[in-house]
Structure 1
Amino acid sequence: MQRLLVVDDEPIIVDGLYELFANHESFELEVYRAYNAASAIAVASRLRIDVLLTDIEMPRMNGIELAEAVKRLWPACKTIFLTGYNNFTYIQSSLRGGALDYVLKTEGDEPIVAAVAKAITLIAEERSYEGLIGKARSQLAAALPTLRKEYLAELLAGEPSTAASRAVRFRELEVPIAAERKVNVIAGRVDGWRDDIQPGDKALFLYAVHNIAEEFLAPQFDVVLLLERQDRFVWLLQPKRQIGETESEPADFYHRVLGIVESIQASCRDFLKLSCSFVVGSEPCDWDGLPDKYDRLRLLFVRGLGLDKEMLLSDRHLFERGGGREDAGKIKRIQLLETYLDQKDAGKFFELFDEITGAVQLASQAGLALEIHHWLGAIFLSYLNRHELVEPLAETIHLGALFTIREHTSWAEVTAYFRRLAELAFAHTQDENDYESDEIVRRVHDFIHGNLEKDLSLNRLAEIVYLAPFYFSRLYKMKTGRSVTDYIAEQRIQKAKQLLRDTDLRILEIGVMLGYHSPPYFTRFFKKATRLTPQEYRDTAKA
């Protein structure tokens, strides 16, 4: 919805134009008025103005100066100048001031309406889909490195994805590795920084490490770098594949990567004077297995193996010792359940919930069951506290079972308990949202009923319920099935009918009581709704 600001130092002109556009059936406009330039600037300082309809000749600050001031606040604002003088100098001045159009007051309403319609059309074109998408594309290009890093970090953290969804995102973010192929991981760490490196230079040195790695890896691999923190980084890599080659990796893949990383480590030591440790994945993995693979590599940094600096390890010995755990990735992703709760995304929540709870199938997995129960209890307790749901839900479900698995007789009972708790949380949140929305509508209706003669603009009503005007308009229409403007018009018509029927007040007075300070506009408004003038209705009602 566009905003129109009408400005003139003659109140009768301002009020007339305000009523014209506020009730014009061809426009959906928020209309505001001001009787001098200072008041107009105050309105523009508080609200975005799309179209400025202003007189040129005004005391203290003229319309051209006002247009320049509003343009500084809202560069996209379209200005239409009004004047009572058909003077070429005025026309030149207004056009030089950036006016979209120039209308003589003596020409009547029709040219003014046409000028505003022209401005609204131009705004729509400028904000068209193609224009917005074009601007978004240029912004996306600048943000690509950050967006690419965030998405790949989500995959490492266990965010669910499919091959198709990954392929789409990889194309959008220009990720230089293939979404459908297996990927290998190399985790790196700077063991200690040189004494002469300033804190601000650390990122620079990490990129220098990456440049060294690219020199060695690029001839044979496609590589993506992820900076995890100041001293940690990750490389995701895939062997370059010639046209016609199969997906199977070369038999010497592991040894080839290990040899290259050894050269990278030596170059960092010799050229950058940095001691770095690396842990290499012994074999490529599917993207679904990437979080688990990454966790195992990070675990090796903690465990070490004989040395605490310049380590060069792989996860191969973990497999030989049986140290890999298939469910580690699931446990890591359990924290995503809290995100899905906060986002009110029941579909994603229950899909991941079933996957995680389904990992416990045997009595021998008691440790895994305890770990999952602990995580679920912590997630739900935090959520219930933040949303003040402890007391409301305590009346429906036994919350003591959050804290100990001993409250349950089987894993099936644990699963059913937390599923029921999630269902109650989602339902209560929806009920609360519905109640708050209904309360907003009730408060607005109460204000309208008690203030039919006052400012009932969308902005004023939105202020009452502390919402943005556009969002309030959408919320109101969603809850009631109609626009708030239609509701206000209906209430004013009903009140007008009652006053015309039951009182002897003059029609002019009734119009003012309903916010219509111009008798012609009150008559036009009433006749449009009832097909009778106010006087005709009064005569009919009292006949």
Structure 2
Amino acid sequence: MYRVLVVDDEMIIADGLFEVLQTIPQLELDVYKAYSGMEAVRQFDRTRFDIVLTDIRMPGLDGLQLLEKIRERWPQCRVIFLTGYNEFSYIYSAIQYEKVSYLLKTEGYEKVIQMVEHAVAEIETELRAQSLLKIAQEQLDNMRGMLQNEYVKRILNEQLDVKEIHQEQFDELAIPLQADRPILIMLGRINSLSNRTTYSEKSRQLYRIKLIAEQYLSSHVSFIDVVNEHMDLIWLIQPLGDNLDKEGWERTLTFVKGNLELVQAACRESVGELLSFVLDDSTVSWADAAERFATLTMLMNYRIGQGCGMLLLDKQMVEQELQQSDGSHREKSQIRQAKLEQLADQLEHGQRVEFSKTLLACADSLKEIDSMHDVPAQELYYSIGLVFLSYMNRWNLVETVATQIGLHKLMQPGEHESWKVAFDYLARVEDILFNLQNQEEERRANAIISLIQKHIKDNLHNPDEVSLVKLAELVYFNPSYLSRLFKQVTGSNLSDYISSTRMTRAKSLLENPNIKIQEVAEQVGYGTATNFTRYFRKITHMTPLEYRTSIFNK
């Protein structure tokens, strides 16, 4: 839908063009009108317009001055000047601008329609133009660092399917690694970062450290470095070139180990920060990177002494101690946390298919466990139950859900005879919550559309009150979104609904012989009997008077 504004200080011209443009069958236009340049400026401050038809000579703010205002606010807007035979010299300076054309007032409505159609075609062509694609590509290049960071974090948090980890994606994001080869993972932490007072100061320190590490590592290894949500630094590393045999990996590991102390020293001296590092001592596939990263995070959190300036290069000793403390369970718990965060996010955003897949993956992890007293399995069940319970509390759904399923089992895994039965129960809770989501979305949409329809019926006499911009402001929506939502819920365009409602009201009023046709025109928002008659005849193929006569001759 394209938004059009008609500006003319002669009301009969503005009203006529307004009515004509509203009824172009091949275009869905949202049309507005203004009777002065200043009134038009107020409209520009309120919303964007795609096309403006304006008289060039108007008192107060004339067409050329209005053009300057349009260019300041909405530079992509097309402007069509309405001019007389004796105004060519006056309009010459205006048509030097891009996206500006002119039309003789004597050329009639058909020519106006052609000009508007041409303007719409230009807009649509520009939207598809290569220049926009080029701009988008430039913006993508500027965002690539952020996209790289997000993509790698999702790999390490087990939020990407293995099928999404491939070379084509690496190349698109300019990740200088090979997707079919293993990697080394290194984790770094600034021990004193919490002493920094502002986020920007912390970010500057992280950036300086990344540059220092690049200076020492880039000559012999390929890598990508990212920062996670805890402001830990993470490096994924491969040898340069094709040196990916066993000997190449050993040289790479030796090189990185040998330079980490130098990186620590340089950061201490030039940045004033003390760093701890945990470097994996064996390669890992991309598919298993999340699990290995969880292990490294635990090793960093495990700490030795105070952990300050720790440089852990051989994890065997610590892994043995973690194993004695049931480290394998802790590792699984950390990986599982990513799944739980996924579940909470997917439930909140109504991603039903994705939620089902994640829940099924959690259930599969327990399929080999027979005992309902298994502590890790109970932890997982409680955690998922808490995701559900938190969501229900937030949206006040506890009582509603309780009427459909026994909620006492939600935090009582012992109420189920097996883990399969337990997860079947969680899947039923999932269905109930997503069904309630859909019902609530539908209820809200219907309530909004009912409000819009009532406002239209109550304000047919005032065109400003039934404009798309005004209706969108009424429900705090973007005009385009409201237009799409109305079509989705009712099956008809908003403009068609307004026209239909006006016509129904007009016919009802015409059945009362005591109401003059001018009064009917005003009550349904057409302003003048001339405009009303033109539109009424177009719809019914008879004038309002002929319609009234036909009613009383029955």
- TM-score > 0.5, shorter chain as reference: yes
- Does the CA-based 8 Å contact 1:210-1:225 persist in structure 2? yes
- Check 1:453–1:271 CA distance in 2 against 1; reply closer, same or farther (3 A cut): closer
**Number of corresponding residues:** 542
Are residues 1:349 and 2:366 paired? no
- Check 1:415–1:297 CA distance in 2 against 1; reply closer, same or farther (3 A cut): same
Are residues 1:60 and 2:60 paired? yes
Equivalent residues in 2 for 1:140-539 (5 A)? 140-164=140-164, 166-192=166-192, 203-204=203-204, 206-228=206-228, 232-242=232-242, 250=249, 254-255=253-254, 257-262=256-261, 264-265=263-264, 268=267, 275-306=274-305, 308-313=307-312, 314-320=314-320, 322=323, 323-325=327-329, 327-328=332-333, 329-360=335-366, 361-363=368-370, 366-455=374-463, 456-503=466-513, 505-539=515-549
SS in 1 for 2:86: coil
Cα-to-partner distance string for 1:354-394 (whole Å, 9 max, x where unaligned): 11122223256712122212311321222112222122112
% identical equivalent positions: 32
- 1:312 and 1:394 mapped to 2: Cα distance? 53
1:25 CA drift (Å): 2.1
Cα-to-partner distance string for 1:139-191 (whole Å, 9 max, x where unaligned): 11111112211221222222122234544432221111123332221111234
- Check 1:161–1:99 CA distance in 2 against 1; reply closer, same or farther (3 A cut): closer
1:336 CA drift (Å): 0.9
- Does the CA-based 8 Å contact 1:51-1:78 persist in structure 2? yes
SS in 2 for 1:86: helix
- Does the CA-based 8 Å contact 1:511-1:517 persist in structure 2? yes
Amino acid at match of 2:369: L
- Of stretches 13-22 and 51-60 in structure 1, the one that deviates more from structure 2 is 51-60
- Does the CA-based 8 Å contact 1:80-1:103 persist in structure 2? yes
- Of stretches 216-225 and 352-361 in structure 1, the one that deviates more from structure 2 is 216-225
1:507 CA drift (Å): 3.4
- Does the CA-based 8 Å contact 1:20-1:521 persist in structure 2? no
- Of stretches 531-540 and 245-254 in structure 1, the one that deviates more from structure 2 is 245-254
Match for residue 45 of structure 1? 45
Q: TM-score, normalised by structure 2?
A: 0.88
- Check 1:198–1:406 CA distance in 2 against 1; reply closer, same or farther (3 A cut): closer
- 1:196 and 1:100 mapped to 2: Cα distance? 54
SS in 1 for 2:223: strand
SS in 2 for 1:81: strand
- 2:130 and 2:25 mapped to 1: Cα distance? 28
- 1:79 and 1:255 mapped to 2: Cα distance? 68
Amino acid at match of 2:178: A
- Check 1:538–1:210 CA distance in 2 against 1; reply closer, same or farther (3 A cut): closer
- Of stretches 175-184 and 256-265 in structure 1, the one that deviates more from structure 2 is 256-265
Amino acid at match of 1:362: I
Are residues 1:14 and 2:21 paired? no
1:34 CA drift (Å): 1.2
- Does the CA-based 8 Å contact 1:181-1:247 persist in structure 2? no
Match for residue 138 of structure 1? 138
- Does the CA-based 8 Å contact 2:188-2:232 persist in structure 1? yes
1:88 CA drift (Å): 3.3
- Check 1:165–1:516 CA distance in 2 against 1; reply closer, same or farther (3 A cut): farther
- Does the CA-based 8 Å contact 1:176-1:222 persist in structure 2? yes
Amino acid at match of 2:540: T
SS in 2 for 1:403: coil
- 1:488 and 1:269 mapped to 2: Cα distance? 70
- Check 1:128–1:266 CA distance in 2 against 1; reply closer, same or farther (3 A cut): same
Cα-to-partner distance string for 1:477-513 (whole Å, 9 max, x where unaligned): 1112211222222233333333334535443433333
1:48 CA drift (Å): 0.6
- Does the CA-based 8 Å contact 2:53-2:82 persist in structure 1? yes
- 1:335 and 1:403 mapped to 2: Cα distance? 18
- Check 1:259–1:394 CA distance in 2 against 1; reply closer, same or farther (3 A cut): same
- 2:402 and 2:547 mapped to 1: Cα distance? 59
- Does the CA-based 8 Å contact 2:9-2:36 persist in structure 1? yes
- Structure 2: stretches of 5+ with no match in the other structure: none
For the aligned residues, what is the CA RMSD?
Answer: 3.1
- Does the CA-based 8 Å contact 1:85-1:104 persist in structure 2? yes
Equivalent residues in 2 for 1:115-134 (5 A)? 115-128=115-128, 130-134=130-134
- Does the CA-based 8 Å contact 1:82-1:103 persist in structure 2? yes
Match for residue 541 of structure 1? 551
1:289 CA drift (Å): 2.1
- 1:489 and 1:307 mapped to 2: Cα distance? 75
